[in-house]
């Protein structure tokens, strides 16, 4: 397994919105309203300024997702709805940059320096992959990945060896702390969680549209 870190270059981001959202009753989570607009819109606004291009990984309602001004990619027929790894692979096969930065669509409070921190960790620890760490655990869907690992990921998925956390740990990722931005990992998996976050964020919509820490 290669250990040499590639030279810095442009990074493509992807918002992962391709799941079944079973705890949301099967509704397309990225399109559910939060603070007056779809969940995906919050992620787009926060992540797009940090990357060279932003993709959306979606398996449903792709025409709607395209209206947010991003290229949309879907899982292929063999990996569709196989979890975050399938969305990561679909994005890795579509990008033109050496690195891919991932984030879930249901965690809308991304740090404004998310990409910067993830990239800095690679050089600091001489790693090929960096993964966010918060709330006392790894957060594997927040990752910076070299596109050169797509064949390795494709084989991992085909062999059914495990989920995203196991695959990432196999490559000894750099750990990126976000202790000062605890809202980073605030996600919405149920209607109740969505309603609670919506109530908090609609107190002052003007402040919400600025990248501000909500802790």
Task: Let me know if 153 is exposed, middle or buried by CB neighbors in 10 A (0-12, 13-18, 19+).
Answer: buried
Tell me the two tokens of residue 88: 């990561």
Q: Report the distance separating Cα 172 and Cα 30, nearest Å.
A: 30
Q: Report the distance separating Cα 91 and Cα 73, nearest Å.
A: 6
Q: Given this model, what pLDDT does residue 208 score?
A: 43
Q: Given this model, what pLDDT does residue 91 score?
A: 95
Q: How far is CA 27 from CA 18, 24, 71, in A?
A: 11, 6, 22
- Long-range contacts (CB closer than 8 Å, 24 or more residues apart) made by 18-25: 18/57, 18/58, 18/59, 18/60, 18/74, 18/75, 18/81, 18/86, 18/87, 18/90, 19/81, 19/83, 19/84, 20/81, 23/189, 23/190, 24/189, 24/190, 24/191, 24/194, 25/191
Q: Given this model, what pLDDT does residue 174 score?
A: 97
> Could you list the pLDDT tens digit for every one of the 215 residues in the chain?
444 444 446 899 999 996 655 556 567 889 999 888 999 999 999 999 999 999 999 999 999 999 999 999 998 766 555 688 999 999 999 999 999 999 999 999 999 999 999 999 998 999 999 999 988 899 999 999 999 999 999 999 988 887 899 999 999 999 999 988 888 998 888 888 888 888 887 654 444 444 333 22
Q: Given this model, what pLDDT does residue 210 score?
A: 42
User: In the chain, what are the domains?
Assistant: 11-208 (3.90.550.10)
141-193 pLDDT, tens digit per residue, is 999 999 999 999 999 998 888 789 999 999 999 999 998 888 899 888 888 88
Q: Given this model, what pLDDT does residue 79 score?
A: 57
């Amino acid at each position: 397994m290669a250990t040499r870190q590639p030279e810095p270059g442009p990074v493509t981001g992807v918002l992962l919105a391709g799941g079944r959202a079973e705890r949301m009753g099967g509704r397309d989570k990225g399109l559910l309203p939060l603070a007056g607009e779809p969940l995906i819109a919050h992620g787009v606004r926060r992540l797009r300024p940090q990357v060279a291009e932003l993709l959306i990984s979606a398996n449903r309602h792709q025409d709607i997702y395209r209206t947010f001004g991003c290229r949309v990619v879907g899982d292929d027929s063999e990996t569709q709805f196989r979890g975050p790894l399938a969305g990561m692979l679909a994005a890795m096969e579509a990008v033109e940059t050496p690195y891919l930065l991932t984030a879930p669509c249901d965690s809308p409070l991304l740090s404004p320096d998310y990409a910067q921190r993830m990239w800095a960790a690679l050089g600091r620890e001489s790693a090929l992959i960096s993964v966010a760490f918060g709330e006392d655990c790894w957060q594997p869907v927040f990752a910076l990945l070299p596109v050169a690992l797509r064949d390795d990921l494709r084989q991992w998925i085909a062999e059914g060896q495990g989920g995203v956390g196991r695959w990432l740990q196999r490559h000894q990722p750099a750990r990126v702390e976000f202790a000062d931005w605890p809202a980073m990992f605030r996600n919405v998996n149920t209607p109740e969680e969505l309603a609670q976050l919506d109530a908090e964020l609609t107190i002052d919509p003007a402040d919400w549209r600025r990248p501000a820490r909500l802790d």
